[in-house]
């Protein structure tokens, strides 16, 4: 049965009607389908390139904004109050833009950059060289993360873990000092006599008798 159907199909394709159908309908239909697939692939590739270009622009703009904030933070002690407010706003906006980037470790990179900016503000007061060194590390780290997000993500995570450990040790040391200070205050308070006990008693109270009333003698006017 199947063999008979196959023979009928072959005979039909070899007939004039079959060749007419192939040349006038089947071949143009296949050409349209193949052309549509090729056009779709070309459009998809172009769209990917466009999206990639926009992502690179957004990433470069966010990184450049953070680095610009770092340059101002390195001279934080010399800025006026208005300039400091503007730098804080610029840094916060750049940090949010970095977090929104579709890259690996965007949140970690933003946290790392925020810690670096805070360190630069602190070091700019007394030790400007350290602030300049932090700025160089911020620039190199963000540029490296932009080029190789996976590798820089690991380095940022290691730095954040190290800073968290150091901060925890400093907080523990502060708690210990506060406890020692509280213990010394409590010991000094218990060894100091109270005001009531240190006050000497009066002569009437010490004798145990009540005070003698004063008698006033009025002279006779007769």
Determine the pLDDT at residue 176.
55
pLDDT tops 70 at residue 82: yes
pLDDT range class, residue 73, cuts 50, 70, 90: confident
At 93-104, the pLDDT tens digits run: 888 888 888 777
Query: Using alpha carbons only, what angle is made at residue 190 by residues 186 and 194, rounded to the nearest 5 degrees?
Result: 130
Distance from C-alpha of 186 to C-alpha of 207, rounded to nearest angstrom: 36
Determine the pLDDT at residue 181.
64
Query: Using alpha carbons only, what angle is made at residue 70 by residues 109 and 89, rounded to the nearest 5 degrees?
Result: 85
Determine the pLDDT at residue 184.
67
Distance from C-alpha of 135 to C-alpha of 117, rounded to nearest angstrom: 8
Q: In terms of Cα–Cα distance, which of 149, 148, 141, 144 is closest to 117?
A: 141
Q: Is 169 exposed, middle or buried (0-12, 13-18, 19+ CB in 10 A)?
A: exposed
What pTM was estimated for this model as a whole?
Answer: 0.54
Query: Using alpha carbons only, what angle is made at residue 75 by residues 90 and 167, rounded to the nearest 5 degrees?
Result: 80
Determine the pLDDT at residue 37.
93
Percent of the chain with pLDDT over 70: 73
pLDDT tops 50 at residue 221: no
Please give the structure tokens belonging to residue 181: 């200070």
pLDDT tops 60 at residue 199: no
Distance from C-alpha of 91 to C-alpha of 70, rounded to nearest angstrom: 8
Residues 105, 152: contact at Cβ < 8 Å? Answer: yes
Q: At a CB cut-off of 8 Å and minimum separation 6, what does 84 contact? A: 76
Distance from C-alpha of 123 to C-alpha of 170, rounded to nearest angstrom: 18
Residues 55, 102: contact at Cβ < 8 Å? Answer: yes
Q: Mean pLDDT lowest for which of 3-7, 11-15, 25-29, 175-179? A: 175-179
Distance from C-alpha of 146 to C-alpha of 12, rounded to nearest angstrom: 63
Residues 158, 173: contact at Cβ < 8 Å? Answer: no
């Amino acid at each position: 049965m199947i063999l008979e159907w196959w023979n009928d199909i072959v005979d039909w394709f070899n007939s004039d009607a079959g060749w007419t159908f192939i040349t006038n309908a089947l071949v143009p239909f296949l050409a349209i389908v193949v052309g549509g697939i090729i056009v779709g692939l070309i459009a998809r590739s172009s769209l990917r390139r466009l999206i990639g270009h926009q992502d690179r622009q957004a990433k470069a703009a966010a990184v450049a904004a953070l680095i610009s904030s770092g340059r101002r933070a390195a001279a934080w002690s010399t800025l006026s109050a208005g300039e400091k407010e503007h730098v804080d706003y610029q840094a916060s906006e750049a940090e949010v833009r970095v977090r929104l980037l579709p890259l690996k470790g965007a949140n970690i990179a933003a946290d790392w950059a925020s810690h670096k900016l805070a360190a630069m503000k602190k070091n700019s007061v007394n030790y400007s060289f350290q602030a300049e060194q932090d700025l160089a590390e911020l620039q190199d780290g963000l540029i490296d993360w932009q080029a190789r997000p996976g590798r820089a993500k690991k380095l940022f995570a290691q730095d954040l873990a190290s800073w968290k450990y150091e901060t925890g040790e400093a907080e523990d040391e502060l708690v210990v000092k506060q406890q020692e200070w509280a213990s010394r205050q409590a010991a000094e308070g218990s060894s100091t006599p109270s005001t009531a006990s240190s006050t000497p008693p009066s002569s009437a109270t010490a004798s145990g008798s009540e005070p003698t009333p004063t008698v006033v003698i009025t002279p006779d006017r007769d």
